Every structure is written in C-alpha cells, then in structure tokens.
Homo-oligomer: A and B are copies of this chain.
Amino acid sequence: MIDKRVRSLAEAVSGVRDGATVLCSGFGAVGEPVELLNALRETGVRDLVCVANNAGTGDEGLAGLIKDGRVRKIICSFPRTTDPHCFEAAYKAGKLELEIVPQGTLSERMRAAAAGIGGFFVKTAAGTQLGEGKETREIDGELYVLEQPIKGDVAFCRADRADRWGNLIYRKSARNFNPVMAMAAELTVVQVREIVELGSLDAETVVTPGIFVDRLVVV
C-alpha cells in the first residue's frame, strides 16, 4: 500500500545531509513550508545551499535557518522580502553567499531538472551582468544564454490538501513555486493542512500528482 504520510515533522525532515541542496518553496511567506523548515533547523544540519525566491522573512522558516548560520549559500531571485533582517545580517557579515538568478530562469532551471533537460537557451539575462560567463548563442537574430538545470537533494513544499498517494492541491497564490520544486528534487517533503481519503480529490484538479511526492505531514 502506498502511504506517504509520516507521523511527525521530525520524521518528515529526517535524512537531510550537511551540504545538501534544499529547494525551499514559497513566495515570501505565502506557500512557505515554515514548520518543515523550523523542524529542519532543529536537526542541526548545516552548510546548506538553499534555493528559494526570497531569502526568508521574519525569524522563522528559511529566515531561521539563515539566522542560525545553517545556510552556506542562497540561490534566489530577490533576497529582500518583507522583514529580511536575518538575511541582511548574515549577508553583511559575509557569512552567506548569494547567487541572484532571474525568477523565471530559477523556475525553469528547476523544471529542466524535473524534465530530464540537460540545458536550455533563453533570452533572459543575455547581454547583462547575470548572463556573463554563460555560453551564448544567436538564434533567429537574438542573443540567448545557456542555462543549466538545478536539482534539489530535497524539496520542502506546502500544499492545502493531499491524499495518501501524495496528490496535492494548493490554495490561490500559495501555489507559486510548490509544483515546480516538488518535481525537481530527489526527496520531496510536503506539509499540508489536511489529508483526505484516497479518491476524494477530483482527478481533474490535482495540481501535483503523487509521483513527485515522497513524504506528507499534516501541520
């Protein structure tokens, strides 16, 4: 029987190694798996490379990991979201490496990892500082840069409802990076508001099919 439910947050975040690449979903605080990231912090894991849109808000979740010095590097499109003081302190102290990636490229690079794509050409960042050092190519008279996939060792996501197979449904703009991150990691861990009976989610409206999900925990 397929049952992806685990009993605790501690079990949900177990097995993440030091130095792991961690996909942290959310757009600011919306859709962020705060409780999972808080639980990850308690494991003592360190030297993490976190991939996220922002670099944490307030003192919890990703911000908490940064505050405790668990994050070696953050790959994001826009570090400063609402109340970014943990990020700012770590960055100014030179304790956090920052890699800025355009938001669409960030998302597409994770999708590439999810889809077995070894690299792809896009116009975004061509002819700019963020495109420097990347292979370029002129296609139909326009300049493109070659972008590489980003694969996570683990993805932490948040959904509204799930079933024991791991099928997920989100809520409004809290969907954001969750579906693409859920696809793009070796291990995908999801916190959900509610787990419903198998067969009670509408087959037409599931956004993330369970094939992408490894662990579910109700928060």
CB within 8 Å of B: which residues of A?
108, 112, 115-124, 137, 139-140, 142, 144, 169-172, 202-205
Contact = CB atoms under 8 A, between A and B. Distances in A.
Contact of A122 (B117, B124, B137, B171): B117
Interface SS of chain A: mixed
Contact of A118 (B108, B144, B170, B202): B144
Given A112-B120, A118-B142, A172-B204, 19 more contacts: A116-B123, A116-B124, A117-B121, A118-B121, A118-B122, A118-B123, A118-B139, A118-B140, A119-B120, A119-B121, A119-B139, A120-B120, A120-B121, A169-B204, A171-B204, A172-B203, A202-B205, A204-B205, A205-B205
A193 to B, nearest CB: 14
A139 to B, nearest CB: 4
A176 B32 CA distance: 31
B118 A117 contact: no
Which of A112, A116, A118, A120 gathers the greatest number of chain B CB atoms within 10 Å? Answer: A118
A169 B205 CA distance: 10
Among A124, A142, A205, the most chain B Cβ lie within 10 Å of the Cβ of A205
Nearest to A139: B118
23 contacts: A108-B115, A108-B117, A112-B120, A116-B123, A116-B124, A117-B120, A117-B122, A118-B120, A118-B121, A118-B123, A118-B137, A118-B139, A118-B142, A118-B144, A119-B120, A119-B121, A119-B137, A119-B139, A119-B144, A120-B120, A120-B121, A169-B204, A172-B204
Report which residue of A144, A171, A204 has the largest number of chain B beta carbons within 10 angstroms of its beta carbon: A204
A170 B204 CA distance: 8
A137 B146 CA distance: 13
A129 B22 CA distance: 39
A110 B123 CA distance: 17
Contacts of A123: 116, 118
